[in-house]
Amino acid sequence: MRMRENQTSAYRLAFWGILALGLAVRLWRFGAVPGGLNQDEAFAGYEAWALLCTGRDSAGYTWPVYLTAWGSGMNALETYLMLPFMAVFGRQVWIVRLPQLLVACLSLPAFHDCLRRGSDEETALWGMLLLAICPWHVLLSRWGLESNLAPGFLLFGTCFFLRGLEDSRWLPISALFYGLALYSYATIWPILPAVLMIQGVYCALRGKLRLDPWLLLSLLLLALLALPLLLFLAVNLGWMEEIRGPVFSIPKLLVMRSGEISFRQIPENLRHLFTILRNQSDGLLWNSPGSLADLGRDGWSLSALRRCGGLYGLAYLITPPFVLLGLLLVLIRLVRAGKDFAPGSLLLFWLLAGLALGALVHVNVNRVNVIFLPLLALAAIGLRWFCALFRGKTATAMLLAAYLLLFGLFTGDFFNGERGYDSRIRYSFGYGLDSALAEAMEGEGTIVLDRHVYYSQVLFYSGTDPEDFRETVIYENYPAAYLRPTEFGRFRFGYSDGVPEDTASIILSPWTDGEALREAGFSCTHHGIYTLWQR
């Protein structure tokens, strides 16, 4: 009895220690790292501001089920989750990122609960640790890309689904999260119904899912949540007119990006997906800190590995062998289970869903984000088996030390604003534009910005009145999937060499030369990566 009590105490200590570690790396300097604001999260934040101020989005739709941002639209869930926080704290960068942070932090215990119910407690601890220190998930948690909510909401849905197999009263909560996941990422629309159908049929055939009032309520709730998006598809496929109501709207986009799905490109798409998984990077700094593929320019050395992020990748370079081992173990257990229920089957269903998505769409890391939680779960299964194979604590201690060492190196690089990740990402996230705009707006007259500045960032930082934006905006490429304004309000876009007439302020990025302005008598101040020129 005393031994069991000691084991329980050690387990609880490990659980809370891992959770504290995961929360710490996600909360430390939250809102400031990464510096600046990505163009997509800026637009999601501005749409929240517009809805909060006027009840309509930037295009004038009342509480739309899908945002019309950019011209080809954005998922709406992230924006709606910001609203209560923005109503209290105002238009802040950390508010834009707060929904993603909350979902990511809650994902840690949810991932643990799924693995504990589907496997055992040691596997659950390994899985929680892998997720807590995973570079992909740490990066995902610290900025507000709306599609990155999908893994968390799918995880919550699966977590309550597993509980629902034991007590069907949990199934409506599972249906709620699965339904909300549809509003987080449009690309999962084709695969989510298929996976849920396969998952449900499998569990019913294994006697784990029975038709009762709770299951019927869950199906009804899921159908009700999916209905507005089915109407949205009907509107944008030209089957019916758009709906502009006083309570909600179903908008007609300028361009529907259905052409991104291609059956002809399946072999090429799969090759690209496996390249990303092999390199643990898609070459986009906001999705992963780097990979070994980036090493050539710096040569082979420890410092070069750290600079290019090659030691980290998406989930550290020592993880893939354990993923393969876990996959083999799950397949063996599935075969041995025969007609009995095998919890690992749910992992395989979601892994196949990620592969299907990668086959249909030319993906990057955030486009195939649904695949990474199943991969981490497989790695946890592989790690648990590997440690048990050797028995004793040596193998566990060595692996734990290796992961914590890599995590320490990763966090040291991630928060380094001088030469580390934080300094590199600033060029992608427009670091300093907020202060440059604030100083420029203190004066009067027109403000000119070069083409490297995204208009969504200007809308968010300036707090431009949504009605004024709609009345004054002029696009150079209307209609288009990605609209490019030439002007709205007092802002003009598209600086070229020379001195624009009647211009009070000019904001230039590092990629635009301002020497002509200096010769014309403008003075400059530096704001992050931007230079503000004023008469």
Q: Cα(95)–Cα(164) distance, rounded to whole angstroms?
A: 33
Instruction: Identify the domain containing residue 511 by its residue range.
Output: 433-534
Q: Cα(400)–Cα(398) distance, rounded to whole angstroms?
A: 5
Instruction: Look at residues 396, 422, 448 and tell me which one is the last residue of a structural domain.
Output: 422
Q: Is 148 exposed, middle or buried (0-12, 13-18, 19+ CB in 10 A)?
A: buried
> What mean pLDDT comes out for the span 518-525?
87
Model confidence at 300: pLDDT above 70:
no
Contacts of 393 (CB under 8 A, 6+ apart): none
Orientation angle between helical segments 121-133 and 394-414, nearest 10 degrees: 20
> What mean pLDDT comes out for the span 51-80?
95
Model confidence at 258: pLDDT above 90:
no
Provide the pLDDT for residue 496.
75
> What mean pLDDT comes out for the span 139-158?
96
SS3 per-residue string spanning 243-304: EECCCCEECCCCCCHHHHCCCCCHHHHHHHHHHHHHHCCCCCCCCCCCCHHHHHHCCCCHHH
Lowest mean pLDDT among 43-47, 110-114, 293-297: 293-297
SS3 per-residue string spanning 196-233: HHHHHHHHHHCCCCCCCHHHHHHHHHHHHHHHHHHHHH
Q: What percent of the chain has pLDDT over 70?
A: 93
Please provide the DSSP assignment of 375-408 as one string. HHHHHHHHHHHHHHHH-SSHHHHHHHHHHHHHHH
Q: Cα(330)–Cα(342) distance, rounded to whole angstroms?
A: 9
> Is 379 inside a domain boundary?
yes
> What mean pLDDT comes out for the span 406-421?
85
> What mean pLDDT comes out for the span 157-167?
96
Q: Cα(232)–Cα(215) distance, rounded to whole angstroms?
A: 26
> Is 310 inside a domain boundary?
yes
Model confidence at 295: pLDDT above 50:
no
How many domains is the chain built from?
2
- Residue at token pair 């923005």: 86
> Is 485 inside a domain boundary?
yes
Provide the pLDDT for residue 516.
83
> What mean pLDDT comes out for the span 320-338?
94
Whether 390 and 491 share a structural domain? no
Provide the pLDDT for residue 360.
87
Whether 417 and 485 share a structural domain? no
Whether 335 and 234 share a structural domain? yes
Whether 279 and 214 share a structural domain? yes
SS3 call for 22: helix
Average pLDDT, the chain: 90
Provide the pLDDT for residue 371.
95
Q: Say if residues 175 and 221 touch (Cβ distance below 8 Å).
A: yes
Whether 415 and 519 share a structural domain? no
Provide the pLDDT for residue 260.
65
Distance of CA 306 to the CA centre of its chain: 24
Provide the pLDDT for residue 361.
86
Provide the pLDDT for residue 1.
56
> Is 427 inside a domain boundary?
no
> Is 428 inside a domain boundary?
no
Q: What is the pLDDT of residues 97-123, one digit of tens each?
A: 999 999 999 999 999 999 999 989 999
Q: Say if residues 398 and 371 touch (Cβ distance below 8 Å).
A: no
Model confidence at 423: pLDDT above 70:
yes
Whether 402 and 438 share a structural domain? no
Whether 262 and 375 share a structural domain? yes
Q: Is 166 exposed, middle or buried (0-12, 13-18, 19+ CB in 10 A)?
A: exposed
Instruction: Look at residues 422, 441, 466 and tell me which one is the last residue of a structural domain.
Output: 422
> Is 369 inside a domain boundary?
yes
Provide the pLDDT for residue 2.
61
Q: How many residues does the chain have?
A: 535
* Residue 208: count of CB within 10 angstroms of its CB: 16
Whether 418 and 439 share a structural domain? no
- Split at pLDDT 50, 70, 90, the class of 514 is confident
Q: What is the pLDDT of residues 193-242, one digit of tens each?
A: 999 999 999 999 999 999 999 999 999 999 999 999 999 999 999 999 99
Whether 353 and 448 share a structural domain? no
Q: Say if residues 250 and 235 touch (Cβ distance below 8 Å).
A: yes
Whether 437 and 417 share a structural domain? no
Model confidence at 298: pLDDT above 60:
no
The tokens for 231 are 């109407």
Provide the pLDDT for residue 319.
94
* Residue 391: count of CB within 10 angstroms of its CB: 9
Model confidence at 392: pLDDT above 80:
no
Parallel, antiparallel or unpaired: strands 249-250 and 523-527:
unpaired
Q: What is the pLDDT of residues 471-510, one digit of tens each?
A: 999 999 999 999 999 999 999 998 876 676 777 899 999 8
Provide the pLDDT for residue 391.
74
Lowest mean pLDDT among 104-113, 173-182, 363-372, 514-523: 514-523
Instruction: Look at residues 397, 422, 447 and tell me which one is the last residue of a structural domain.
Output: 422
Model confidence at 445: pLDDT above 90:
no
Q: What is the pLDDT of residues 351-382, one digit of tens each?
A: 999 999 999 888 899 999 999 999 999 999 99
> Is 144 inside a domain boundary?
yes
Nearest 5°: the CA angle 275, 280, 281 is 80
Whether 394 and 465 share a structural domain? no
477 forms beta bridges with none
Whether 201 and 344 share a structural domain? yes
> Is 28 inside a domain boundary?
yes
Q: Alpha helix locations (H) across 119-190?
A: 121-133, 135-141, 150-166, 171-181
- H or E segment and range at residue 493: strand 491-493
